[in-house]
Amino acid sequence: MRNQTESFRVFAPVGQPGRFVGGQFNLGAPERQVETDAQQKVPPLQLVAIGAGRGMTEQSTWSDRLEGLARWCARAGGALIAVTALIIAGDVVSRNIFGTVAFNAFELSTYLFAAAVALGLASTALNGAHIRIDIVLQKLPPAPKRLLNCLAYVSLAVLAVCMVWFAVELVLESHARGVRSNSAMAVKLYVPQAFWALGLCVFALAAIWFAVRYAVALLRGDHRLADGLSAAGNAGADPDETVEISGARGEVT
């Protein structure tokens, strides 16, 4: 009888060794024992940890995307600050050499600076760089400290949502009424206001995401993750990396 090779999914008992060859399970010999790539036994606890790690990886992917968006917004804000400096420098040179202003730097710098600040808020929040007075907080036990941290994150999210609400309302109203600046440039105000509102929207997403993650961690009793989230801004560490999972060996460290 000739040997045949078939490919299908096999659910082997936890801890039973097996061999996975060339992307297929070789069933040519009935008595052949299925072995894993590493030819090692995987305890049930480690399988549970691997499954949890996959969930954490998916959550971390969304977090990475949001952090990437916030990072690019912060870079755009920094670029606007650089443009503001160039415009001001150009106006200074033009006024001293030609006796006139070239860019109307005062008005433009106002719009650019407002947009730059708004675009940088999300990255600042995710990095824990907003100013906090925590003299009393640091002296509290862990339980009330976590509750106050949760209150602070939720309050920040609520504040961000309110700012977005009024900013978007202002942009729509300025666009509908055709409001222009009261200056020689007569800038359509909804244009700079839209960039300002965009930065606030990203800030609100970041604040909501952070508050929800922290609150869910507390509700699940995952104090290690909650503490990692609250300390992420200072330590610069990813709280999802508090548990490291090795895909090759299925070990948890």
Q: What is the per-residue pLDDT across 167-188, written as a single tens digit (0 to 9) for each?
A: 999 999 999 999 999 888 889 9
Q: How many domains does the chain have?
A: 1
- In this structure, the strands spanning 251-252 and 245-246 are antiparallel
> Which residue positions in the chain have pLDDT lower than 70?
1-60, 232-253
| Residue 186 belongs to domain spanning | 61-234
Domain for residue 180, yes or no?
yes
Domain for residue 24, yes or no?
no
Say which residues have a Cβ less than 8 Å from residue 29's Cβ, sequence separation at least 6. Answer: 3
Domain for residue 42, yes or no?
no
Q: 232-235 contacts: CB < 8 A, separation 24 or more?
A: 232/128, 233/126, 233/127, 233/128, 233/129, 234/128
* Closest alpha carbon to 150 in 220, 211, 101: 211
Domain for residue 51, yes or no?
no
Predicted pLDDT at 57: 54
Domain for residue 56, yes or no?
no
Token match 């606890």: residue?
45
Predicted pLDDT at 153: 92
Q: Are 163 and 82 in contact (CB under 8 A)?
A: no
